[in-house]
Structure 1
């Protein structure tokens, strides 16, 4: 044992001595030193970095929840929507492999380090940087480049051998013989002559034979990467070739580069690389296996589903992992369903079950199996309902009941039973599991069903609920958000009409009828309150929004239900605060009750949580109503003629708004006609008559109702002959001429403003003075000309004249953007040091769109924040998630005085908008890591020049709106 220990120690000593110099050229180090370099590179930095990358990949995969109702992603870690969560680990991995490359570049693991860095950047979804890294890797370590390096080394070796022989011969000549040693020293001249002779042999000049080892430049975006197929020195792989010897990482680098090209939309480059890998006889088995999955991913990204099936089937044949086989097969089944190939889908889902996957996938496969069997004619709808009911009763499926009810809803829809589908979707939400994926599907489908039925209030609420649980990177997120946004004003106006109609109807009742109604409403409210308490959590089928579940309110013209975006109201059915206050009162009295049927008569309840006497008191309380209760419940009911007129005005405005919104937001001309005709029927003397008739004319024209459109046309011509609307109808050239005139007006204003910007204030003012003559005193840009005129006067005549002109703008043009701007300038005047002529601050300098300019981030806090603590927390966040970005933080204060100063943290800096928005998105997804949850703050990316504009104004006024419009 001691002998082995000594051997190991001696070997370690030699390794240490041989590896002391880490920056040698590879052809200059000994095999022992090479062994040291390889071992140190692999088992120090690279090993630890690889562990970090693998852990990050696993964490991202765990972050994503499979939604079996949608096409499963091939790579779960790629589908994760918050890569920022593992950014710190991945940055650490990149840092480690960078150190390995710097210290052990001569090792065989340098290519692996570049590959690992590229993978880490890919996982961070920093695809641009990943592309640069991987392009460099495949260029530097391609077989052709490697072959050239090997050839250069071989060429140098004979020179080195010859050099050694010369040295040996020289040493031999310079060594004195034994005979000479015995002799006495000869004269100094003789010695000098002998020494001179022995040094006349010169060392061969090998500098001329050494090749320069300059690295070739990388051409960004290059997609033609040689895999060595034409290189005779590039050998085909052998199964056991690299069981000890290090295997080059080049092919894996090419594969990951192809994946990066896919993410960057460079499909041509990706396809070229994948084709080269596929045709290369030297491609390793595991690379071939992964290549098939990447090719399938590529086809799915292009929505080419039939080729994707082919590559997935190929991946299954090559794959050894049973769970991966099951996943690929499940995706194949889904693709067949999307292509309407239910028979093939049935076979695929059967195969999934044979692979014995995790229960969730097994369960989903059985659901799809039943669906495909029915769709393919193998079973009837009755058969599938029996199968699904059987699954509902299975205890193993308790947490999957939401998905079973969703499947039943789909059966209902196939049979054109929309009410049944809605009921099953509500049941799906009531039995919702912790996972938000199924909840999102049920909310979204309910929203779509209500939208089809033109129940836009419910549709809006369910779309809002969808957005709360749907992943932001889901392809349906943005269309759903757009639809929800378009419905916001529509739902608001519908709610206004329903509410005001209800209140007007109640106002016409007798006092006894009002009291009876209030009593019924109180009972209904109390019953809903109890149900909410007994269920312990709010009902899952309720969408978000103001109000409560269907049936709570008596609303004319609607079946009742939650209301979105209505005006603040004290009417109980629209007052969440009153309802929650009642719930808190009930909880203090009765506590939390478990969900039980018929809770009042439950023997378990009577003998458990409270006694019969307390229960009886609660029942009695719910049957009594006081005058105060009546007044509170009917508080919003109109009492006077003025109240009635105000309610009718709200209805009139809402009807006109709906007539416009249906046409402009939803392109629904039929609903627009309904609203506008109701407006004219209920309010024949409305102020909106002209516009309502015009919109009716347009809607009927688009609907092809020629006769009705002509009737309305005649009404317009008869009643409003001198209006611009009628002129445009009578003269087709009128609109064109108006547009030309408007275009000339805009061009004229632009020229005037250009003169102002260039400092030609006299020229600008002269053009302003001439504008009424050219375009009329009531032209559409007169307010803008007035504000620009004030600014010219300010620069020409000074501060006092400037203020006077601004006051005139405010007085003449109320409720305009120019009024707001004039007030803002007046607020700033006299406070900020001026730089322009006349000592005036020119506030007509809006923020500029400068996406390519360097960007900062500003964190704006309300008063009272501990700025040092906040800076420390932000610094910790940057160190954890953005270590490689080399960010700097500082702080400033905005505001005119100590009383209104606003603390701001400034984070510097990023190269452009795209880079800074990655930071912003990461903070929005990890707010608790950025600053404590109880800290109120706003975060804004801002370009360098716009930041200077904020400093100059000492205010962020206007920037939040600019940011929302241009960056989000």
Structure 2
């Protein structure tokens, strides 16, 4: 036989060709034969799957090592996907998708098909391509053949929904996975993803409990140390410091990075302050000294001082806490990550403990200027800052207009002396600021400005710092500029004297130096008037006289200007009292504010509401008062009087009686007996409180007021309905009526 093939070699080659062709045909990716499946399994695994898997692991490792942790805030259990942060590893992720895609393209009968789709979904998830990641994971769950791979896809799907903030669908997937027999890896990933989901939702107790169940399946290492740190943070947030301390200690036993061990020690000290353990607190003081003296912590001193301030605040030592917080800001240097949160803590102390709202506003301004907008605290800081802005505005209006009215009563000689005194004080302050600026310039001369400690605020005391490197001073400066000059456009000659009078605002340190709006009219006697033609010359020849003339222009000498000033004070007292009562929840401060308003302006139109708010404020403090009786005696037919006697439930007899009363009033209305119908409606509203017809009678009363009284009374009654009946089905119709009434050409029928 061998001799036969030697004689005919072309037959041997032909046989080999036939065998190879048959083998390749049998290796089709759609074939179910063992040889075909074995070939495609081998090729798909080593030529595609392993390469894609390793590239994704490398990308995840790079993202982990280059992460930027903000230890001042609760750390995320899983790193939130971010397309910008993933840019450095985008080539690896793109190549991983390309390699994994070879399997569904060329190896359909391979057992690695589901794994390849899971890798594609994971890579797209890391790139923040959430819609496509979700579709891939859904496909695996629907078409997959291996249960473990399908479970892995569902864990990825839950993660993708969480990143998309679609918590409802994420929880639905989690509920299904809870009933499935998961392998070890899928159990670990499921627990971590579910804990992350609950952390994102703010359900910290649930997240901490799930993390506790996860640690037994985790290996020691930096990633596990990080999770112990997060578990400690979660337990701190739910008020369980002892459990938090236990996790902080486990951080140190899990091969942590230096930053992780440093913050674990700091957080443990903070938690010790919550336990009230005197021995632990004494040890904390020694620990702080060691940390501050450790050269490795030179760039972390701001965190140490911050923690020291936090402990003092928890122990009720507010002034010491503010001192340490201030040291934290000074020690921050160029690393300002901690600074906005330190400003926030100081602002909270002034707001909640000292009730010093003007100072609190300054620190909230600074915190809001520096804190990232995506921070969870941003919205609450912004809301509180708005409240503080209003508070300072009302207080400034009251103080400024009071001072201006006082100056208007002085005799000319005394007033002239007072103005000279104010100008001299301002000049003194300006010289001090100029000297400080010169001092900083001299320190900077001959050296790199950024290397001068004073220039970058690293060593100078707060009152010595250059204003452009002091966020608090910057905030104050912006506020003073806005108060004095208003919202000025960027233009030349913005401070010229021929600007509209309403744009001129007084200064910050006195009513004549920038704190009160100018009057809409010029009430000054001719002595204080200045011809526009020689204004420039006068200012140039006598700057002091020009300043004094500008101050004179702001004093309300005329009766009309004084009436306007009093109206501003009345409105500011009214709004300030409501701010104390509702936004600041300080009824003890609201009461004297409202009482001052009633004393100074006994004929105020807001008297019924003020009586009612005084009644509520005293009731909130557990004090007895006569404000309810005064309200019922003086203003029995107002909505505020009805609010004091409103009951929640009425009997069937009351409902029947209410229906009869309503019908009688409505009949009077149809008979065009407006006066009688309105009087009956006013008297009946109190007795109909809590019935189903109360809001209907209130609306009928509005219609009667519209027919028998002026437009202002009609608008007021509409506003009262909107306030008093927020759940009424009639509310949309009343709002339409109010909109029509507020039109310039409102025509009531």
* TM-score scaled by length of structure 2: 0.63
Instruction: Find the partner of 1:496 among 390, 397, 421.
Output: 397
What are the residue-to-residue correspondences of 1:120-269 with 2, within 5 Å? 120=123, 122-123=125-126, 130-143=133-146, 227=148, 249-260=149-160, 264-265=167-168, 266-267=170-171, 269=173
Superposition deviation, residue 627 in structure 1: 0.9
Superposition deviation, residue 476 in structure 1: 3.4
Instruction: Find the partner of 2:80 among 72, 77, 84.
Output: 77
Superposition deviation, residue 66 in structure 1: 2.1
Superposition deviation, residue 81 in structure 1: 10
What are the residue-to-residue correspondences of 1:427-466 with 2, within 5 Å? 427-452=327-352, 453-466=354-367
The aligned counterpart of 1:921 is none
The aligned counterpart of 2:180 is 276
Superposition deviation, residue 739 in structure 1: 2.5
SS in 2 for 1:542: helix
In the alignment, structure 1 residue 569 sits paired with structure 2 residue 519: no
Residue 105 and residue 31 in structure 1: after superposition, are their counterparts in 2 closer, same or farther (change >3 A)? Answer: closer
Whole-angstrom CA distance in 2 between matches of 1:435 and 1:131: 38
Deviates more, 1:354-363 or 1:340-349: 340-349
Q: CA contact under 8 A between 2:44 and 2:103: conserved in structure 1?
A: no
Instruction: Find the partner of 1:353 among 242, 247, 252.
Output: 252
Whole-angstrom CA distance in 2 between matches of 1:91 and 1:744: 69
Whole-angstrom CA distance in 1 between matches of 2:281 and 2:50: 61
The aligned counterpart of 2:602 is 684
Superposition deviation, residue 448 in structure 1: 2.1
The aligned counterpart of 2:488 is none
Instruction: Find the partner of 2:544 among 627, 642, 653.
Output: 627
| Partner deviation per Cα, 1:44-95 (whole Å, 9 max, x = no partner) | 8x47xx8479648855985653224x433222335x6977979988996797
Q: CA contact under 8 A between 2:211 and 2:231: conserved in structure 1?
A: yes
| Partner deviation per Cα, 1:728-781 (whole Å, 9 max, x = no partner) | 7775146776731466799xxxxxxxxxxxxxxxxxxxxxxxx99997786899
Whole-angstrom CA distance in 2 between matches of 1:297 and 1:694: 48
The aligned counterpart of 1:156 is none
SS in 2 for 1:674: helix
Q: CA contact under 8 A between 2:154 and 2:173: conserved in structure 1?
A: no
Residue 322 and residue 428 in structure 1: after superposition, are their counterparts in 2 closer, same or farther (change >3 A)? Answer: same
| Partner deviation per Cα, 1:241-268 (whole Å, 9 max, x = no partner) | xxxxxxxx44532432344466624435
SS in 2 for 1:379: helix
In the alignment, structure 1 residue 483 sits paired with structure 2 residue 384: yes
Superposition deviation, residue 424 in structure 1: 2.3
Whole-angstrom CA distance in 2 between matches of 1:56 and 1:694: 62
Superposition deviation, residue 19 in structure 1: 10
Whole-angstrom CA distance in 1 between matches of 2:127 and 2:37: 39
The aligned counterpart of 2:695 is 739
Residue 775 and residue 349 in structure 1: after superposition, are their counterparts in 2 closer, same or farther (change >3 A)? Answer: same
Which residues of structure 1 form unaligned runs of 5+? 1-9, 144-225, 228-248, 554-565, 579-624, 747-770, 784-812, 823-968
The aligned counterpart of 2:304 is 404
The aligned counterpart of 2:580 is 662
The aligned counterpart of 1:542 is 472
| Larger RCO (CA within 8 A; separation ≥ 6) | 1
Whole-angstrom CA distance in 2 between matches of 1:532 and 1:391: 35
Whole-angstrom CA distance in 2 between matches of 1:663 and 1:483: 15
Which residues of structure 2 form unaligned runs of 5+? 1-15, 441-453, 456-465, 484-501, 515-541, 645-682, 716-737
Instruction: Find the partner of 1:66 among 48, 63, 70.
Output: 70
Whole-angstrom CA distance in 1 between matches of 2:58 and 2:117: 16
Residue 723 and residue 104 in structure 1: after superposition, are their counterparts in 2 closer, same or farther (change >3 A)? Answer: same
Whole-angstrom CA distance in 1 between matches of 2:614 and 2:564: 26
Higher helix share: 2
Instruction: Find the partner of 2:324 among 424, 442, 457.
Output: 424
* TM-score scaled by length of structure 1: 0.50
| Partner deviation per Cα, 1:289-322 (whole Å, 9 max, x = no partner) | 5455345445656777677556545655543462
Q: CA contact under 8 A between 2:364 and 2:385: conserved in structure 1?
A: yes
What are the residue-to-residue correspondences of 1:543-942 with 2, within 5 Å? 545-547=475-477, 569-571=505-507, 573=509, 627=544, 630-631=547-548, 634=551, 637-638=554-555, 640-641=557-558, 643-713=561-631, 717-718=633-634, 720=635, 731-733=685-687, 739-741=695-697, 818-819=743-744
In the alignment, structure 1 residue 334 sits paired with structure 2 residue 290: no
SS in 2 for 1:76: coil
Superposition deviation, residue 568 in structure 1: 6.6
How many residue pairs align between the two structures? Answer: 584
Return the index of the structure with the highest Cα Rg: 1
The aligned counterpart of 2:429 is 524
Whole-angstrom CA distance in 1 between matches of 2:100 and 2:701: 60
Q: CA contact under 8 A between 1:429 and 1:540: conserved in structure 2?
A: no
Q: CA contact under 8 A between 1:542 and 1:548: conserved in structure 2?
A: no
Q: CA contact under 8 A between 1:655 and 1:679: conserved in structure 2?
A: yes
Deviates more, 1:368-377 or 1:668-677: 368-377
Whole-angstrom CA distance in 1 between matches of 2:616 and 2:277: 48
SS in 2 for 1:707: coil
